[in-house]
Amino acid sequence: MSELHPADDHSDQPVTHPNDRAVIRLRPKSKPQAIRHGFPWVFADEAVLDRRTKALPPGGLAVLEDAERQPLGLVTVNPVSKIIARVMDTDPGAVIDGAWLRARLTRALQMRARIYDEPFYRLVHAEADGLPGLVIDRFGDAAVIQPNAAWADGMVEEIADALIDVTGVTTVVVNGQGRSRGLEGLAERLEVIRGTAPEAPVQVRMNGATYLADLMGGQKTGLFFDQRPNHAFTQTLVDGGEVLDVFSHVGGFGLAALAAGADRALCIDGSAPALELARGGAAAMGATDRLETRQSDAFDALEALAAEGRTFDVVVCDPPAFAPSKPALEKGLRAYERVAKMAAPLVAPGGYLVLCSCSHAADLTAFRNASARGIGRGGRRSVLIHTGQAGPDHPTLPQLAETGYLKALFFRLD
């Protein structure tokens, strides 16, 4: 059939490509070279949004063209999202089916299997693995899918089948919760779509520590694999002594410190279930008597520990994203500064302070400056000895800063 263009037709039907696919076109002032060089998103203000484009179903496929009508690739479209299109394939004629999914998953698995001895890792890290908006974490024979884009939510059954074919997992959980789904216009969902729900938390071994992951009731997919290399670096700083892990979740840094020989670790979190999992992990390691937990608001706990005169050889603060978006950036940076100010006095002389951020909007420089200001306001002098990021199972797409969200700063305090 002949191709239709916005200037040629005023019906409500989507523009179609010669291969019968719909077309979405960039505005004349947009920069198609960014797409050609690997940037995977098209924002709503960069595309021609006529009635036909808006009529495309969320998660549907279209050929992306520049203003000169040259094809740039195949995209998935969501007219209700600020990210109106995500690049699925540079081939505009690609077929997105089970074979395509298996090829992408196989490539992702091959890289993880080369790096990790055991099947506990992030298997798919969205755009960086060529599967935009899709996250999959693997826990041995189980996997948790986060379909954070409309196309992935619509194809989750096909994704689960391909996942089983490629990895051999027997249980697949869909955890469709979180802010990103709301931005896509997707409802929350939590269900087991293959196999049966785990009857108990899954034991995950990392860096010599044992963690318990609740795949049905925990945060995100049940465990944060991204901090694995930062847990490992923290272990190099442990020489007996006491470690404080604030915003600890299931004991990420605290249990790693115990595995490295810390005399004691104190984990603080606002979630009672998360702390119960931390205690379960310590029990699995034979370290129950060396772990102390405290359920509390983190800022209240930091204030209370200062009043008690407590100090620690290593203090780690790994808070949630205080700056999840640009409008929240300034407020978020003030919160990071406050954490550093309150945590610094709790570090013993010559000890170490580890400050983390998973905020997309706060880049490394802004986060480092806020942390340094906070340490200074806390009355301490510091040197930065190491800067960490997420592990290689969370690859960074160079063209998309959001894939490199995690920052970890390791300071030595005088």
> What's the rounded Cα separation, in Å, for the pair 73 and 88?
8
* 60, containing H or E segment: strand 60-65
| One domain for residues 177 and 76 | no
The residue ranking higher by pLDDT, 395 or 21, is: 395
User: Hey, what are 133's tokens?
Assistant: 């908006």
Domain of residue 27, CATH code: 2.30.130.10
Q: What is the mean pLDDT of residues 123-138?
A: 97
Kindly report, residue by residue over 170-182, the tens digit of the pLDDT. Answer: 999 999 988 889 8
pLDDT over 50 (residue 262): yes
CB-neighbour burial class of residue 326 (10 A; exposed 0-12, middle 13-18, buried 19+): exposed
Q: Give the pLDDT band of residue 19 (cuts 50, 70, 90).
A: low
**What pLDDT score was predicted for residue 30?**
85
pLDDT over 60 (residue 37): yes
Residue 372, φ and ψ in degrees, nearest 5: -65, -40
What are the CA-CA distances from residue 261 to residues 6, 268, 289, 312 (Å)? 67, 20, 13, 14
Kindly report, residue by residue over 57-75, the tens digit of the pLDDT. Answer: 999 999 999 999 999 999 9
| One domain for residues 186 and 212 | no
> What's the rounded Cα separation, in Å, for the pair 78 and 116?
35
| One domain for residues 178 and 280 | no
| One domain for residues 265 and 312 | yes
Under DSSP, the state recorded for 283 is: H
Active-site pick, 267, 317, 356, 358: 358
**What pLDDT score was predicted for residue 402?**
82
**Residue 8 included in any domain:** no
pLDDT over 50 (residue 2): no
Last residue of a domain, one of 39, 64, 89: 89
Last residue of a domain, one of 34, 65, 89: 89
Kindly report, residue by residue over 212-244, the tens digit of the pLDDT. Answer: 999 998 777 889 999 999 999 999 999 999 999
pLDDT over 70 (residue 354): yes
Domain of residue 147, CATH code: 3.30.750.80
* 61, containing H or E segment: strand 60-65
Share of the chain above pLDDT 90, in %: 84
Which residue is listed with tokens 């700063």?
409
| One domain for residues 150 and 277 | no
pLDDT over 70 (residue 378): yes
**Residue 5 included in any domain:** no
CB-neighbour burial class of residue 256 (10 A; exposed 0-12, middle 13-18, buried 19+): buried
Q: Is 291 helix (H, G, I), strand (E, B) or coil?
A: strand
**Count of domains for the chain:** 3
**What pLDDT score was predicted for residue 53?**
77
**What pLDDT score was predicted for residue 32?**
87
Q: What is the mean pLDDT of residues 180-195?
A: 93
> What's the rounded Cα separation, in Å, for the pair 344 and 1?
68
The model carries a pTM of 0.92
> What's the rounded Cα separation, in Å, for the pair 48 and 29?
11
Kindly report, residue by residue over 148-167, the tens digit of the pLDDT. Answer: 999 999 999 999 999 999 99
**What pLDDT score was predicted for residue 1?**
29
213 touches 171 (CB < 8 A): no
Q: CA quadruple 118, 234, 391, 187: dihedral positive or negative? A: positive
Residue 358 annotated as catalytic: yes
pLDDT over 50 (residue 14): no
What is the residue range of 58's domain? 22-89
End-to-end Cα, the chain, rounded Å: 73
Longest dimension (CA), the chain: 78
297: which residues sit within 8 A by CB, 6+ positions away? 270
**What pLDDT score was predicted for residue 205?**
96
Q: Is 130 helix (H, G, I), strand (E, B) or coil?
A: coil
Share of the chain above pLDDT 70, in %: 95
Kindly report, residue by residue over 301-322, the tens digit of the pLDDT. Answer: 999 999 999 999 999 999 999 9
